[in-house]
Structure 1
Amino acid sequence: MAGTLQRVAESVQEILQISGLTPQTFLVFCIAFLLGYAVLKRVRNLPPYPAGRMPVLGHLLALDDKAPHLTLTAWRRQYGDVFTIKLGMEDAVVLNGYTAVKDALVDRTELFASRPPRYMFDVLVGFGKDIAAARWGPAFRQRKRFATAVLKNLGMKVGRGSMEDGIREEARYLCNRIAENNGQPFGDIEHDVTVAVANIICSMAFGKRYDYEDETFKELYGAIATIAFQLSTARLLGVFPFLRFVPIVNRAGTNAWEAYDKVKKVLREEISRHRDHLDRENPRDFLEFCLLELERQEKVDGLTEENVLYLTGDLFLAGTETTTNTLLWSLLFMTLYPDVQTKVHDEIDAVVGENMPALSHRSQLPYVNAYLMEVMRFRTLGPVLSHATTQDVKVQGYDIPNGTRVLVNLHSVHVDPAYWPDPDRFDPERFLDAEGNVINHPESFIPFGGGRRVCLGEQLARMELFLFFSTLLKCFTFKTPEGAPPASTDGVLGLTIAPHEFQLCAIQR
């Protein structure tokens, strides 16, 4: 550090000697240059700024801390589909509504396919050594292509060799666990669903499942919860990374990183175990495929063990958090809409009969599919996606420079009144046509994102949601406990939007 400062001082002194400027004149020149740069930067043809911008903080105080997507959607009504907000000193362009979002995510996907610097996430994932937070480029494309191919090989597909049997077996474990409550109120449904969902991705990632009382998984489960909570409270640290040096202010970041260290510890142990028992002729799980690629370097240039660690961490966190919370919302809404639950039960009983649901039943259960789609529309788990432009681009007449942070407001897409009449009403039948068939690809419905950054586990998630939910509803009727108030439908924003803790009764059918 001292050497660097000395070189800078020597360079400045050399500039002064060559130019004949005094230190005072040089300082004035630098200030004028910075002011001129700031003024020129402001006159760019960016979309308009909403009111409420403050010096240094920008719009941070104007955004609702607990539900920023609601503020952005409200601003859309006043400022249009495209506007600019200040996150501290940084400009971020916000895209709202299906037309603007589809243009970016689908029609011109590569122009919006990068990720901006996000300090909190970047620290967690080794500054882009994973897939989710990696910047756009050959390394990202190779990693995602490799991971997708491996997951398909391991069963992320419909038909022969799929994960269907594993998911159905895990669904039975979950039903047996819930049945232990004998219809009495219980509040640890989040833990049970998390274990079941995590076991699917864990079996694919490192070839094992956890029992519901396993101490290692309890530690992992606690770490996930801590990461989600702390990231939701560390907004200032994400915008002003220098605050990591300020005691108390940096506590949320420190807690999140310490929690993720627990996840990485388990992953490193699994990598070591797999290396000792590597089957080079018949790789059995994601880690074994990765270790083989480390040796051969055939598909992912420069793949390192750190990459493998963070890639597997992506699968574990994303594959657990999103599907778990979607299932929790689906059970919560069952307790709030008993008439809808009756329709779900009637359809499952008529189609499945005495058997247990299978993927072959999916096309015959339109109301079940419509219900799950309405859950994903009504509670968009990732309400705002963070992208970045890969080159200068025009959006609705505005100029968006290369590298600009672009916030894609998916919540606004799913409550767009142009596509969803009365969007605040929960109604599965909006996904059914006049003949009662499910509308599989409706416009303005993109819960998994789209384009180059679409969720790589989408197909697996859809399989899990259908099989877990239909099996649970085959076996139980879910109710709010007698005398208890209805569960809150306000979400808690962490890594995704999760429901508040709630109790329910699961009555065996």
Structure 2
Amino acid sequence: MAAFARWITESVQEILQISGLTLEMFLVLCTTFLLVYVIFKRPRNLPPYPAGRVPVLGHLLALGRAPHLKLAAWRQQYGDVFTVRMGMEDVVVLNGYTAVKDALVDRSELFASRPPNCLFDAVTGSGKDIASVPWGTAIRQRRKFTTTALKTLGVKVGSGGIGEKIREEASYLRNRVAEYEGQPFDVAYDLNVAVANVICSMVIGKRYDYTDETFRALSEAVVTVAVKLAAGQIISFFPWLRFVPGVNRARVELLEQNSKLQNVLQEELTRHHERLDRENPRDFLDFGLLELEKQEKVEGLTENIVLHMAQNLFLAGTETASNTLRWSLLYMVLHPNVQKKVQEELDAVVGESLPTLSHRAQLPYVNACLLEVMRIRPLLPVALPHATTQDVKVRDYDIPKGTQVLVNLYSIHKDPAYWPDPDRFDPERFLDAERNVINKPESFLPFSAGRRVCPGEQLAGMELFLFFSTLLQSFTLSTPEGAPPPNTDGVFGLTLTSPPFKICAIPR
């Protein structure tokens, strides 16, 4: 320590001799530099800070384990727009429908970028995917290519769509649930497999059996990646922590699980190379390989980018839909009167056959239930971080270009100004006086909005409807005898995950 102090002293003396400065002048310059840095580092007209900010960590401790709830609480005191300090970074938070609509819808391109994030970059290959790429030509081309490919593969309204594959998978799921013979079971894994199989059929052109061990490991890896991305977020604000043993455990586990998914996709890419039918592409990897050869729609496309785009579809398309389905079954168990109304509507419209997408428009109460589930437990409590593409004014505040912006979607769906008694589960909110579904009410943005709206919204809607309606048509769901009601608080992560719970599925 003494040697270090002596080295510092000698270094300062050497600097003074070389520059011709006195010690006093040197100290004044250092102080001036620090003051200028502090003054200009934080713009003077950012939105206000909530209380609870501490040195170095900022508001990280105050946010706790349920940041969406803390942000919503701060909204009551500081308004729809405020600034939280995440480590050494200022992050602007938007709450409520008015502020979010102004940013994501009315001025979408100004908030369409993504901030750097070392955890996401580790998973997505530093901008080789769709979700984390900063705004520009690359993301516009990749999103358009992905949307076009999904539509060609059947994610569209009308005949010839993927509805039949989802319906087939719903039948497999029904048969799987029937094997439990009314005994208590945790439905989480089976729902994950069912949803993941839909993604598999679109991305790599095949499905797996529910008991396949390789697929079990793959589906668990997808869920773990989503969980660890949230658990390790402190590393995003202090990237050097990724080198600290113990502290970096979430990141290590994240990369281990992510490599499992990437290895499977890489093996499938190799197989697709060998059997590519250029006249009849069968899945997303085929479309990606064809674009690699043509280089017509996506500039600079590489095989690695195709792999990461496919990985995005797995990660975004599995955990969100399967988690929403878990919540839907949980709320049916908690509200048997609602469950009975759902089943009565299904019996009247569908009868004994399996539901199809053609029944969707005739089942307003079923649709209203799913919309209410997505409202009361949003797919993403806080949207993936946005970043401003240029200096922008929000209300009376100045937000510099490149500022990270968090959108509290939870606050939108729990706003009593739009949703009276917002903690009450009530599908009737989504039915008008004529009992028609209100599909797009104000203050309802479960898939976010604007330039970064989830490209899989239509697919998710198909899956939720067919899986939910098939299970409710086939079984009456209840909690095991003597078991307490399932907890509805949720576990904060990239999604608001339902806690583990068991149900009994009695054949109807």
**Fold conserved between structures, TM > 0.5:** yes
- Residues of 1 paired with 2:467 and 2:25: CA distance? 71
Within 5 A, what are the aligned runs for 1:361-440? 361-385=359-383, 386-440=385-439
What is the aligned partner in structure 2 of residue 216 from structure 1?
214
What is the aligned partner in structure 2 of residue 191 from structure 1?
189
What is the aligned partner in structure 2 of residue 348 from structure 1?
346
What is the aligned partner in structure 1 of residue 272 from structure 2?
274
Kindly provide the amino acid, as one letter, of the partner of residue 447 in structure 2.
F
Contact 2:94 2:405 (8 Å CA) reproduced: yes
- Residues of 1 paired with 2:22 and 2:141: CA distance? 53
What is the aligned partner in structure 1 of residue 358 from structure 2?
360
**Counterpart secondary structure, 1:290:** helix
- Residues of 1 paired with 2:223 and 2:463: CA distance? 21
What is the aligned partner in structure 1 of residue 180 from structure 2?
181
What is the aligned partner in structure 1 of residue 162 from structure 2?
163
What is the aligned partner in structure 2 of residue 264 from structure 1?
262
Shift, 1:43, TM fit: 4.9
With the length of structure 2 as denominator, give the TM-score of the two structures. Answer: 0.94
Shift, 1:17, TM fit: 10
* 1:454-475, Cα deviation, whole Å (9 max, x unpaired): 0001001101111111111111
* 1:347-384, Cα deviation, whole Å (9 max, x unpaired): 11111112221111111111111000000000012111
Structure 2 CA distance for partners of 1:464 and 1:23, relative to 1, 3 Å: farther
What is the aligned partner in structure 1 of residue 281 from structure 2?
283
Kindly provide the amino acid, as one letter, of the partner of residue 421 in structure 2.
D
- Residues of 2 paired with 1:376 and 1:37: CA distance? 44
- Residues of 2 paired with 1:393 and 1:88: CA distance? 23
- Residues of 1 paired with 2:214 and 2:156: CA distance? 29
Kindly provide the amino acid, as one letter, of the partner of residue 498 in structure 2.
P
- Residues of 2 paired with 1:25 and 1:171: CA distance? 76
Shift, 1:34, TM fit: 3.4
Structure 2 CA distance for partners of 1:43 and 1:309, relative to 1, 3 Å: closer
**Counterpart secondary structure, 2:103:** helix
What is the aligned partner in structure 1 of residue 136 from structure 2?
137
Structure 2 CA distance for partners of 1:275 and 1:88, relative to 1, 3 Å: same
* 1:250-288, Cα deviation, whole Å (9 max, x unpaired): 111111111101111111101111011111111111001
What is the aligned partner in structure 2 of residue 319 from structure 1?
317
- Residues of 2 paired with 1:235 and 1:24: CA distance? 43
What is the aligned partner in structure 2 of residue 228 from structure 1?
226
Structure 2 CA distance for partners of 1:54 and 1:349, relative to 1, 3 Å: same
Shift, 1:161, TM fit: 2.0
Contact 2:224 2:254 (8 Å CA) reproduced: yes
Shift, 1:30, TM fit: 4.9
Contact 2:382 2:494 (8 Å CA) reproduced: no
Given the alignment of the two structures, is residue 60 of structure 1 paired with residue 60 of structure 2, yes or no? yes
Structure 2 CA distance for partners of 1:304 and 1:418, relative to 1, 3 Å: same
Aligned Cα root-mean-square deviation (Å): 1.9
Shift, 1:230, TM fit: 2.4
Contact 1:64 1:70 (8 Å CA) reproduced: no
Structure 2 CA distance for partners of 1:434 and 1:321, relative to 1, 3 Å: same
Kindly provide the amino acid, as one letter, of the partner of residue 401 in structure 1.
P
What is the aligned partner in structure 2 of residue 460 from structure 1?
459
Task: Give ranges in structure 1 of 5+ residues lacking alignment.
Answer: 1-11
What is the aligned partner in structure 2 of residue 9 from structure 1?
none
- Residues of 2 paired with 1:345 and 1:287: CA distance? 39
- Residues of 1 paired with 2:402 and 2:201: CA distance? 38
- Residues of 2 paired with 1:25 and 1:309: CA distance? 57
What is the aligned partner in structure 2 of residue 3 from structure 1?
none
Structure 2 CA distance for partners of 1:209 and 1:24, relative to 1, 3 Å: farther
- Residues of 1 paired with 2:310 and 2:26: CA distance? 51
**Counterpart secondary structure, 1:340:** helix
Contact 1:431 1:438 (8 Å CA) reproduced: yes
Task: Give ranges in structure 2 of 5+ residues lacking alignment.
Answer: 1-11
What is the aligned partner in structure 1 of residue 33 from structure 2?
33
- Residues of 1 paired with 2:271 and 2:205: CA distance? 11
What is the aligned partner in structure 1 of residue 3 from structure 2?
none
Contact 1:230 1:255 (8 Å CA) reproduced: yes
Shift, 1:40, TM fit: 2.9
Shift, 1:27, TM fit: 7.3
What is the aligned partner in structure 1 of residue 201 from structure 2?
203
**Counterpart secondary structure, 2:234:** helix
Kindly provide the amino acid, as one letter, of the partner of residue 339 in structure 2.
Q
- Residues of 2 paired with 1:264 and 1:30: CA distance? 49
* 1:332-359, Cα deviation, whole Å (9 max, x unpaired): 1110000000000111111111222111
**Identity level (%):** 68
- Residues of 1 paired with 2:443 and 2:145: CA distance? 30
What is the aligned partner in structure 2 of residue 115 from structure 1?
114
Contact 2:222 2:314 (8 Å CA) reproduced: no
What is the aligned partner in structure 1 of residue 148 from structure 2?
149
